[in-house]
């Protein structure tokens, strides 16, 4: 077993439930300095912010009552889930691993006997949390059958076999788990947020730091790296937090490198900024503080900043402002002349990609050229490193990338083979690519990672696998990224377009519908989302799930990445 796997096995982090007994049938950031403070003595026993009462089995409990009581008691991890273990036989109580996985369900929980000494619990599963803390959604309507076996202990039934891990209803999961961005370093030193879920407890800072030390999750292993040298570990067994100061004391080789120290501090500041009660961080090496200038706010990269809506209105191309269309110097005249039906504009406003009947054109100041002449081209994208991305729906495994300097090549996307791809987009920062897939009356979003050269950011490949990060009903219409962590999709239901916000490792959120919706723009936050209809009307969010018309006579909206 590798050192990394050994550390993962030793941590009490809940992961995906994949035991043989279980089968699926279907922003301010943190600066740093401060004094030494005492830490937690045992992070595995640290209390949750919200505690649930747990009760042991009642006398004469039936098999079904045992199962339901066991699941309820497992909401409380106090004393190593001691109350939940009371429902188990003594032998199995020592074997059951509550830290192995978490399964999130909604709806009813029908139970049926399976012989005299076994029973099956049927759950409507909405998500799993894998061993690295990543949340994976399941398709609506799929269910999981869990098998429990029972043995007589004197006059009482006890559970002698059960699924490993913890089973939580959605409301409980939301109450005691929280989502955080564990930030790693991508090409060019950009931050790559890796969404993870952790128990909301006193040891949260320690869990996040341990995740940083272990490195990126499987999705990002080829895409990003950690600034912490391999083999780095906490000097003590916990990160101490007092008066808002998180003190991270580490040991290992290569820690005195100034560049590595800057990277480690940046990762710590941005990864711990969402932890309640933490507003500063201090890095120590075996008790000695690292002398680095504290930063009150983590550096923001251009990829983290929202971009204003751009598009074509009444034959003019530019950025939409309160007073009208603001032309983009060196870009607007060419885009207007091309008169394309799909446009992408870089966040720097220096490169555009335009789809016309002749193919996808790349446009920069004083230069334009057709870079992809295939049939059935989807709307193009331009990433933060100024590479254009174009894909043919008839040939979805071959993505064409090009730059204004004349460099261009193809990238194979194996996980799009045979799929009906309706839209693709590159996340701000350039670490992820998303694709909206139509699947006959339902839609889903696949997200994979992007590999790049460190200097210049040239994309070289995508990760060999992708994850489904959103399920939605209705025909797939359009998709765009909101920021590095979230995207928005629009799917057709009747004559309206249903808007759904999601993201890697995030539960989806339906945002209402817009009649005759055709295109969508992510913007940078929810208030900047815009929906374009087939008759040229532009809609903006209003309230929790409403929409209001804000413009008319809009021909095309431009994706900004």
Digit-coded pLDDT (tens) for 448-493? 999 999 888 999 999 999 999 999 999 999 999 999 999 999 999 9
pLDDT at residue 545, as a whole number: 85
pLDDT at residue 201, as a whole number: 85
Average pLDDT over residues 132-160: 92
pLDDT at residue 556, as a whole number: 97
> Chain-wide mean pLDDT for the chain?
88
- Label residue 293 by pLDDT band (50, 70, 90): low
* pTM for the structure as a whole: 0.87
How does pLDDT run across 523-554, given as a tens digit for each residue? 888 899 999 999 999 999 998 889 999 999 99
pLDDT value at 305 more than 80: no
Average pLDDT over residues 59-73: 97
Residue 339: exposed, middle, or buried by beta-carbon count in 10 A (0-12, 13-18, 19+)? middle
pLDDT at residue 7, as a whole number: 34
CATH T-level assignment (fold) for domain 302-559: Neuraminidase (2.120.10)
pLDDT value at 9 more than 90: no
Average pLDDT over residues 501-522: 96
Average pLDDT over residues 5-27: 34
User: Which residues make beta-bridge pairs with 130?
Assistant: none
For 47, how many CA atoms within 13 A lie in the half-sphere containing its CB?
5
Which among 484, 475, 480, 413 has a CA at the least distance from the CA of 444? Answer: 475
pLDDT value at 24 more than 70: no
Longest pairwise C-alpha distance within the chain: 87
User: Which of the two residues, 36 and 144, has the higher pLDDT score?
Assistant: 144
How does pLDDT run across 147-197, given as a tens digit for each residue? 999 999 999 999 999 998 999 999 999 999 999 999 999 998 899 999 999
Segments making up each domain of the chain, as ranges: 13-26+51-175, 176-289, 302-559
pLDDT at residue 523, as a whole number: 87
For 459, how many CA atoms within 13 A lie in the half-sphere containing its CB?
31
pLDDT value at 114 more than 50: yes
pLDDT at residue 416, as a whole number: 98
User: Contacts from 214-219 at CB under 8 Å and sequence distance 24+?
Assistant: 214/4, 214/7, 214/8, 215/4, 215/184, 216/184, 216/192, 217/132, 217/133, 217/134, 218/132, 219/134, 219/194, 219/448, 219/449, 219/463, 219/467, 219/504
Strands laid side by side in the 324-326 sheet: 324-326, 316-321, 310-313, 554-559, 342-345, 351-356, 359-364, 367-372
Please report, rounded to a whole number, the percentage of residues in the chain having pLDDT higher than 90: 78
Place of tokens 């079904």: 64
How does pLDDT run across 419-438, given as a tens digit for each residue? 999 999 999 999 999 999 99
Tokens of 33: 């300095």
- Label residue 401 by pLDDT band (50, 70, 90): very high
pLDDT at residue 458, as a whole number: 97
Question: How far from 163 is each of 98, 100, 121, 146, 160, CA to CA, in Å?
Answer: 9, 9, 11, 7, 11
């Amino acid at each position: 077993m590798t050192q990394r796997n050994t550390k993962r096995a030793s941590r009490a982090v809940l992961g995906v439930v994949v035991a043989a007994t279980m089968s699926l049938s279907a922003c301010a950031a943190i600066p740093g300095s401060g004094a030494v403070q005492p830490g937690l003595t045992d992070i595995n026993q640290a209390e949750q912010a919200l505690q649930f009462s747990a009760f042991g089995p009642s006398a004469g409990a039936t098999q079904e009552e045992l199962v339901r009581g066991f699941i309820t008691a497992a909401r409380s991890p106090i004393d190593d889930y001691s109350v939940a273990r009371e429902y188990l036989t003594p032998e199995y109580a020592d074997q059951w691993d509550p830290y192995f996985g978490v399964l999130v369900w909604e709806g009813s929980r029908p139970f049926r006997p399976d012989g005299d000494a076994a029973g099956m619990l049927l759950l409507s599963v909405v998500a799993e949390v894998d061993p690295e803390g990543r949340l994976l959604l399941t398709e609506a309507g799929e269910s999981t059958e869990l098998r429990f076996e029972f043995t007589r202990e004197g006059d009482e039934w006890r559970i002698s076999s059960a699924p490993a891990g913890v089973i939580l209803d959605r409301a409980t999961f939301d109450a005691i788990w929280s989502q955080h961005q564990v930030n790693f370093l991508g090409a060019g030193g950009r931050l790559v947020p890796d969404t993870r879920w952790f128990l909301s407890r006193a040891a949260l800072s320690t869990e996040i730091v341990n995740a940083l030390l272990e490195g990126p999750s499987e999705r990002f292993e080829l895409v990003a790296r950690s600034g912490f040298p391999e083999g780095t570990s906490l000097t003590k067994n916990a990160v101490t937090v007092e008066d808002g100061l998180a003190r991270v004391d580490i040991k290992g080789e290569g820690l005195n490198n100034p560049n590595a120290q800057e990277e480690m501090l940046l990762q710590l500041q941005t990864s711990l900024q969402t932890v309640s009660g933490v507003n500063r961080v201090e890095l120590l090496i075996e008790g000695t503080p690292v002398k680095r200038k504290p930063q009150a706010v983590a550096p923001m990269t251009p990829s983290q900043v929202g971009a204003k809506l751009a598009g074509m209105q009444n034959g003019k191309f530019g950025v939409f402002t309160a007073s009208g269309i603001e032309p983009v110097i060196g870009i607007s005249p060419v885009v207007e002349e091309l008169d394309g039906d799909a446009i992408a504009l870089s966040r720097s406003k220096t490169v555009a990609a335009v789809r016309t009947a002749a193919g996808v054109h790349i446009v920069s100041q004083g230069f334009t050229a057709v870079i992809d002449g295939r049939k059935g081209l989807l709307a193009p994208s331009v990433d933060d490193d100024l590479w254009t991305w174009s894909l043919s729906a008839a040939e979805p495994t071959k993505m064409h990338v090009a730059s204004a300097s004349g460099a261009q090549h193809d990238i194979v996307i194996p996980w799009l083979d045979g799929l009906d791809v309706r839209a693709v987009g590159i996340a701000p920062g350039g670490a992820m690519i998303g694709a909206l897939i139509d699947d006959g009356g339902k839609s889903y979003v696949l997200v994979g990672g992007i590999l790049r050269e460190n200097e210049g950011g040239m994309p070289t490949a995508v990760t060999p696998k992708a994850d489904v990060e959103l399920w939605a009903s209705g025909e797939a219409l359009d998709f765009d990224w909101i920021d590095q962590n979230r995207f928005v999709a629009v799917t057709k239901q009747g004559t309206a377009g249903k808007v759904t916000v999601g993201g890697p490792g995030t539960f989806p959120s339906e945002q209402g519908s817009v009649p005759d919706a055709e295109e969508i723009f992510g913007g940078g936050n929810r208030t900047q989302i815009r929906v374009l209809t087939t008759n040229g009307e532009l809609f903006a969010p209003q309230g929790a799930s409403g929409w209001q018309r804000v413009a008319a006579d809009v021909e095309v909206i431009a994706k900004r990445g």
